Every structure is written in C-alpha cells, then in structure tokens.
Chain A
Amino acid sequence: MRFAFSEEQEEIRRQVRRAIADGGGVLAARRAMLEDAATDLELWRRLTRDLGLAGLAIPEAHGGAGLGWVEIVAVIEELGASLACVPFLSSACLATAAILEAGTPAQHDALLPPMARGEATATLAWLEAGGDASPAAIETAARVAQGDHVILSGTKRHVVDGHTADLLLVTARTPDGAVALYAVPAAAAGVERRRLPTMDATRAQAEIVLSDVHVPASSRLGGGGWPPIGRALAKARIALAAEQVGGAQACLDLGVGYAKVREQFGRPIGSFQAIQHTLADMFVLVETARSSAYHAAWDGEHEPDLEITAAATAAYCAAAFYRCAADTIQVHGGIGFTWEHDAHLYFKRARAGRTLLGSMTDHRDTVARSLGLGPLGTQESR
C-alpha cells in the first residue's frame, strides 16, 4: 500500500512548478488569455521542449516518456493551481488518450511522435450544437467517397483549444449509423474554425465547421465505435479533476492568506468563526477531492470500470472546485469581486469545468446507471 507519489514523480511536479513560477504564475495566464491563441507559448515551450511533458503518457516507442496517468495528475494539478494557459488537457491528455485508445499501431506511429516532441498539438472535437455529451447526439456525417476517401460534414462546438490545434480528432457518424473518430489536419480544405468567446478566458473553445472535408479512409482511427472514445474521455475527466484540485487548493490558499492579514473590527477576519468555518469546509473539499483524483488516476490504470471511476471523481472535483472558488470570492469581500483580483479567474475556470467534458449531471447519471438506476436515457455503445 502506497498512496503517494514516487520521488521521480515529485521531481516532475517540482519542475512544472518551477517552470510556472519562472513564467510569472497567474500573471502569465492573465497575459496569455488576452492573446488570440489564448496560449502561454513560453510555458508550453518549456513544458514540452525542456521537460518533455507533451509526451508524458505517450509510449517511449513513439517518442514519449512512457509514463501514465499518475504522472499526468501530478503535472496537471500544478497547471490548474496557476490557471496555466497551455494545451496540456486538450492535447497531452484528451487527444493523446483518444489516439492511444482508438488508433492502430500504425496510426500511433504516425500521429504521436510530433505530439510527443511538442511540435504539434491535437484535440478532440466531439460536442455539437446543444452540447449534448451522449454519442447519440453526434450528427456530423462521414460519407464514403471515391478513391478510398471519406467526406466529413458538420459543425463541432466547444472544442477545447480547437482554434490552435494542428490536428482535430473528429467524431462522426458513418453511413451505417455507427460513430467513428477521424484524424483531420486542421489545415485541411473545408475546415473553418473560430474561437468562441468564453466567460473563462483562460481556456479557449472553438467552433469548427467541416464543409465536405475530404480525408483518406485510413484517417479513421482503428475500427471505430464509441467505446475507445468513451475511455479517452474518461481519462481526460480524471485529468481535469486533478486540474480542478489544483485550482481548489489555490482558492483555499488565497482565502487563508487573505483571512490572516485583512483586519476588521480590530482583528484579522480569519479569527471570525464564520470565516474559519467556510475555510475549514474548503479544506475538507480540497483534501477529499485530491484523494479522489489521485485514487482515480491509479484505479484508471489498474481497475475495470474506468468510466465510472472517472465520472465519480469528475462530478466530485468539479463541485469542490466551484464551491472553493465561489467561497474565496466571499472571503475576500469587495476586492474578490474585482477584475484585478485572481479570484474570478478561478471562479470562471471552475464554472467552465462543470460542463467541459460532459456535465456534472451526465457524470452523476453515469454513476446512477451503473447502479442499475434509470431510466436516464441509455448511452449508445456502438
């Protein structure tokens, strides 16, 4: 029994923390969110070129570090604490998992090495208008065309980092009604994308319009079907949960720090029991959420039921982060309501996370279904 990171894993975490601090921490995120790319390129360069983190979960055979989700969780918790604007979640977690889960060895060989080197990023384009997370909602069509080609048409929304990714992994419905995943270069003819303005400016979403995009039939990842996509999403949900733990801890730290120095009625507000109890509740949320995310990272690689594990931790950590972010605004009073203070950046990140990779309701319904409770609509499993 060992519920802790190894010395090597802690070293990775320290390196990430140092890279973030050198770049200015949340200040760097503030700068990046004003740019059209919404990416802290300098930090991403350090994380990828210097630390090799883009390929953390990519097997060594494809140029990655060959590590797993425990390391992913350690890294992304730090990124979440500083709201780092880098495509780690979208590319190093979500898209990497999707390629690994759905692709053939040949496709791994073709797609993963440039991602591992940090030369290319990818993302998953799965949601459409309405944002329904169930595979039944996928309407983007994959039509068979001459010369062993496929024609994709449809509109994707809420694509995380979709306006900057080099490679889009697009879910589409084949003529027989099944779901399949296609690797589409963002530069392909007929791909039009634009950044959607978001309340949380630290993480960009895009709308991607596919107008008769021709791709070779071989760009379909593996044999198709929803299960590998579902597993990739589950893994990404665990990563997002850990990112939320980092954010929640940052909110607690902000709140505790302020409560010790802000004085009213002649004493620090942190001596008032109402403030203390709010912060104590946040503490419990942070520590339980952290335990859950770490446990899920390990379970996700060692136990069956990955999707249920992921849904459980996703629902819990999203709620915990949101509550901590909301309460840190309250603890800060007026200053917490300003644009200048960081509290709102966390609050908005927390809000976005509640619906980023499926909604909290979706996650709870997944769990309820696994307990044999319904009817809550059935997940298509083709």
Chain B
Amino acid sequence: MDLRFSDDDERFRAEVRAWLEARLDGDFRDLRGLGGPGREHEAIEPRMAWERELGAAGWIGLGWPAPSGRGASLWRQVIFHEEYAQARAPGRFGHIGEYLLGPTIAALGTPEQKGLFLPPIARGEQMWCQGYSEPGAGSDLAGVTTRADLASGAWEIHGQKIWTSHAHLADWCFVLARTDPTERRHAGLSYLLVPMRQRGVTARPIKNLTGTAEFCEVFFDGARTAAENIVGAPGEGWKVAMATLAFERGASTLGQQIGFAGELAAIIAAVRERSADRDPEICRRVADAWIGLRVMRSYALRVLAHGEQGELPLAGLGAKLYWSTWHRRLGELAMDVLGPEAEIIAGAPYGLTPLQETFLFSRADTIYAGSSEIQKNIIARRALGLPRSS
C-alpha cells in the first residue's frame, strides 16, 4: 500500500493547476462554477470558447493513445480531473466526444476516421452527442428501431432518439441504428457517425424537472451520412456501443468527488448559518454524508489502482450505484437542513439555488448511464454469478 502520487505526477499536477489558475483568473474569469449537471444552459458560447482554449493547450485527449492524444497514465488523467474540479473550471461540453467517442475511434476506428475525427475533438472544435436511447429502448437498448439503409454511397437514417444530451449544441452524433431489418435484438445494429447540422435532423430540447433543458429528442428524417462513417462492420454496432461504455475508466470520479465535497461544504455552511446543528439528527446525517464521501474516495482509489493495468476489477462494479445513491441522499439532506427555506427558489420563473439544483438533478443520477436497477442486475450476473432472471 502506498497511497501517494509520485513526484513526477505531483509536478504534472502543479503544471495543470498553474495553467487553470492563469486562465480562470484571466480571460475566463467569469466561467468558474458555471455549467455541469443541471446547469448546462449557462454561458454556452463562452464555454464553447473555453473548450477551444483547453484544446489549444493540449488538455483534451490526455488519455488517448499518441499520436492523437498524449497517452497520459490513468493517474495523470485523475489528477487533471481533480485539479479541474478544484479550480471550479466550467462544466464541459466536450466530454462526450473526448471520453466516449474519442476512445472508441482510437481503439476501433479506421485510420481515416482517426485522422478525420480525433484532431477536431482534441482541438475542442467538434461537439458530439450520444444517440442510443429511444422512446421504446431505454434500459433495454437492444430494442432500438431507428433504421439506416445504405443507398448510393450513404446511410439514410429514419427514426427517433430521445434523452440525447447536448443534441441541440452538437455537431455530430454517434447513433446506434438498425441496418439489417432481417436481424433482431443485438444483431443487425450498426454504430454510425452522423452530422447533426443537416436537413434531415431535428433536435428539440426537452425541459427536465429542474426547469432547464440539457437533453433533447432527436428526429432523423432521411438524415444522411457517408458510407464510411461507421465504426466496426455493419451488424457490429452492439459490440462497439458496449465498448464505448467500457472506455469510461473512472478517471473522472475523483474530480467528481471534489464537486461533491463542494456541495457538502455548502450544506455544512448552511447548517452553521441556520444553527441546524441544534438537531443531533442533522449532525449525524451530515456526518454520514461526509463518511460516505470518504468511503467513495477509498473505493475509487482502490478500483483505479487495480484497473490501472487493464480490465476494471469486478469489485468496481458497484461504483455507479454507490455514488448516485449517495448523491441523491445528499440532495435530500440539503433540503432537510434548509427547512421551510428549502422551498423558496432563487427567482421567477424557476431559478434554483445550487442546493436545490443538487436536490433535483440528483434524481437523474440513478437513471442515466444504467439505472440503479440495471446496475444491480449487472452486479448480480457478473460479480456474483447469479442465474439470469426468468
């Protein structure tokens, strides 16, 4: 056991920190703390400029293999995320391209695709969205019905996606579509790369329960993309789509936890301000939240350390379930600390305080990226080897 970063890694940390401080005290000083879950509507244009600033400095694609990326170790990626969160740098628009599509192309794309897509993502100039879910296919993703047919050198796409984050801002979408109508379920799917800014694509933001919109419904009405804009062979879409999800190695989890710590600190400040600590029950719930966050960090460190060399350990399968459940409870604690004041929003029509945002948005944490129930099914099958239900 040695839970310290190496001196080299600490030097890297200092480099990241200095860069972030300089920018966020300088031209981008108004962006600290903006964006992120539940607040994606904030400062869109300046945050797009920030993406390009990150890209120009070489911070995007840190973990991608060279030459498209910098091939940084998992720990360096962790450090970057920690510093990013510590500096309260703005919520990213580029994360879907950088962390989902980029690694997929780097691993499974053709040389032409690598040349075409990785550089603009790394420059922070090309935004992506993820077109998996459909009205009829959520947890059961193999039920997608969006169709794509190859005709005169291009795929023509018909169908509807939903809950597509940032679709209204994205330049491209990776779409899971059915390309072989004779096959069912997981077979006959393909992973297509589709430009969003074209006539056959309509993205309509959907207002979520925080009153803001970050996801959309997306209609494909004869949208087109070139025949070569497919990752893997036709019919291999399921495999590629799952690979995309598996690239999430948890490098961002420690950074995410710094954000959580900030929320917890705000709750503790509210407890003091309102003298809510007269109630020992509140004190103990705050203690539980603090303990839970500390446990989260221990868990993440252990899983990252084991996953550094290759496959993520089975022990880590509980990470999503754990943090999302913790975060939801944190939001509830925040409301109970505030008492009746919890009801009063920041302003009409529906401006929320940060703690209200935490409370409301955390309801999504246990739904997206594999709901809690799906997480438990996965743990039961893969980690515990229990037989398939029914």
In the complex, the chain A residue whose C-beta lies closest to that of B292 is A316
Q: Is the CB–CB distance between A373 and B3 below 8 Å?
A: no
A294 touches B290 (CB 8 A): no
Contact residues on B (Cβ < 8 Å of other chain), bracket:
35 or more
**A288 and B291 contact, CB distance less than 8 A:** no
B249 at the interface (CB under 8 A from A): no
Complex contacts, A361 vs chain B, CB 8 Å = 284
- The answer to whether A271 and B3 have CB atoms under 8 Å apart is no
Q: Is B251 an interface residue (CB 8 A)?
A: no
B residues less than 8 Å from A299 (CB atoms): 3
Residue count of chain A within 8 Å CB distance of chain B: 52
> In the complex, which residue of chain A has the Cβ closest to the Cβ of B3?
A298
Distance between Cα atoms of A126 and B160 in the complex (Å): 68
Set of chain A residues within 8 Å of B379, measured between Cβ atoms: 280, 283-284
Whether B283 contacts A373 by the Cβ 8 Å rule is yes
Instruction: Find the A residue at minimum CB distance from B284.
Output: A364
Rounded to whole Å, the gap between the CB of A359 and the closest CB of chain B is 11
Known contacts A259-B386, A294-B302: A368-B377 contact under CB 8 Å: no
Chain B residue with minimal CB distance to A255? Answer: B384
User: In the complex the two chains form, is B305's CB within 8 Å of A4's CB?
Assistant: yes
Chain B residue contacts of A283, Cβ below 8 A: 317-318, 379, 383-384
A339 located at the interface, meaning its Cβ lies under 8 Å from any Cβ of chain B in the complex: no
Q: Which of B3, B5, B291, B306 contacts A295 (CB 8 A)?
A: B3
A357 proximity list for chain B (CB < 8 A): none
Encoded as 1 (CB less than 8 Å from any B CB) or 0, chain A from 1 to 42 comes to: 111111000000000000000000000000000000000000
Which residues of B from 290 to 337 have beta carbons under 8 Å from A?
290-292, 294-299, 301-306, 308, 315-318, 321-322
Partner of A291, one of B288, B299, B385: B299
Is there a chain A Cβ closer than 8 Å to B53's Cβ?
no
Interface status of B389 (Cβ within 8 A of chain A): yes
- With A3-B306, A374-B277 known as contacts, the answer to whether A276 contacts B318 (CB < 8 A) is no
Asked whether any CB of chain A lies closer than 8 Å to the CB of B272, the reply is yes
Q: Which residues of B contact A280 (CB under 8 A)?
A: 318, 321, 375-377, 379-380, 383-384
Q: A287-B318, A316-B291 are in contact. Are A2 and B2 (CB under 8 A)?
A: yes
- The total number of A-B Cβ pairs within 8 Å is 168
Question: Is A373 a contact of B1 with CB atoms below 8 Å?
Answer: no
Min CB gap B298→A, angstroms: 4
User: In this assembly, does A116 line the interface, its C-beta being within 8 Å of a C-beta of chain B?
Assistant: no
A371:B268 contact, CB within 8 angstroms: yes
A374 touches B283 (CB 8 A): yes
Q: Is the CB of A256 within 8 A of B280?
A: no
Shortest beta-carbon distance from B303 to chain A in Å: 8
Given the complex of chains A and B, what is the CA–CA distance between A302 and B2 in angstroms? 10
B298, A295: Cβ atoms closer than 8 Å: yes
* Chain B residues, CB < 8 A from A6: 1
Question: In residues 289-304 of chain A, which contact B (Cβ within 8 Å)?
Answer: 289-292, 294-299, 302
B4 within 8 A of A: yes
Residues A298 and B1 in contact, CB atoms below 8 Å apart: yes
Could you tell me if A70 and B386 are in contact, using CB atoms closer than 8 angstroms? no
Please determine whether B284 and A292 come into contact, CB atoms closer than 8 angstroms.
no
In the complex, what's the smallest C-beta–C-beta distance from A37 to chain B, in angstroms?
35
Q: Do A273 and B389 touch across chains, with their CB atoms under 8 A apart?
A: yes
How long is the Cα–Cα vector from A287 to B383 in the complex, in angstroms? 11
Which residues of the partner chain A approach B280 to less than 8 Å between Cβ atoms?
365, 376
Q: Is A84 an interface residue (CB 8 A)?
A: no
* B272, B303, B386: the one within 8 Å of A271 (CB): B386
Instruction: Establish whether residues A4 and B306, one from each chain, have CB atoms under 8 Å apart when the complex forms.
Output: yes
Q: How far is the CB of A261 from chain B (nearest CB, A)?
A: 11
Q: A283-B383, A297-B1 are in contact. Are A312 and B268 (CB under 8 A)?
A: no
The answer on a CB contact under 8 Å between B380 and A277 is yes
Which of the residues A3, A256, A375 comes within 8 Å of B386, measured between beta carbons? Answer: A256
* B290 in contact with A315 (CB, 8 Å): no
With A279-B380, A292-B295 known as contacts, the answer to whether A271 contacts B387 (CB < 8 A) is: yes
8 A–B pairs (Cβ distance < 8 Å), ordered by A: A1-B2, A2-B2, A259-B386, A270-B384, A284-B321, A294-B1, A367-B287, A373-B277
Q: A259-B386, A287-B315, A372-B268 are in contact. List 15 more A-B contacts (CB 8 A).
A: A270-B384, A273-B389, A276-B389, A277-B376, A279-B384, A280-B377, A283-B384, A284-B321, A284-B379, A288-B295, A288-B298, A290-B302, A291-B299, A292-B298, A294-B302
